Amino acid sequence: MDKLFAKFANATAKITGSPPAFLICVLMVLVWAASGPLFKFSETWQLVINTGTTIITFLMVFLIQNTQNRDGAAVQTKLDELILTSAAENKFMGIEKLTDKELEAMHARCTEHAEMAQLRLDKIGEEREKRTKSKASPRIKRSPAKRPPAKDAPARRVKTS
């Protein structure tokens, strides 16, 4: 039963979320509006569109909620797997079940850690910039030291042009 409903909900969500489905709905509303003069804009004419849209909306809310619940659970499961297989703290597993206050406290802690990490990165950047500037400053060029020729080394020939 669950698998059948999941397949139905997925298929319905895919179809109703498509551009052709939207265009069909727009055409239906236009046909209904154009038929107003034919039915003299009667209460029955109005009741047709009101009843139809109410029933469709009522049913779609449950289908969309089911699809969202499954998508949310799938994303949470994937994130939990990433947390387990990484160097991240395992206490982030299942935080979607925490209260709002607990979530706010964890968010504040993460924000604080992010700010501290940014400060460290800024300090490292400043250090690199200082080192780069000190390397770029002009240095006194020294001429290479002249060594006496080795005892048994052959004499160098100087080309003359």
Q: List, in order, residues 6 or more apart from 112 with CB less than 8 Å away.
A: none
Our CA dihedral for 5, 11, 17, 21, rounded to 10 degrees, sits at: -120
Residue 149 DSSP SS3: coil
Q: In percent, how much of the chain has pLDDT > 70? A: 84
Query: What does the pLDDT average to over 103-114?
Result: 90
DSSP, collapsed to helix, strand or coil, labels residue 131 as: helix
- Is the CB of residue 13 less than 8 Å from the CB of residue 67? yes
Q: Angle 55-69-98 (CA atoms, 0-180°, nearest 5)? A: 130
The pLDDT assigned to 88 comes to 79
pLDDT at residue 41 in the model: 92
Residue 157 pLDDT > 90: no
Q: Mean pLDDT across the stretch 108-132?
A: 92
Q: Is the pLDDT of residue 132 over 90?
A: no
Q: Which two tokens stand for residue 76?
A: 């949470």
Neighbours of 49 (CB within 10 A): 15
Asked if residues 123 and 129 have their Cβ atoms less than 8 Å apart, the reply is: no
pLDDT at 97: 85
| DSSP state at residue 88 | S
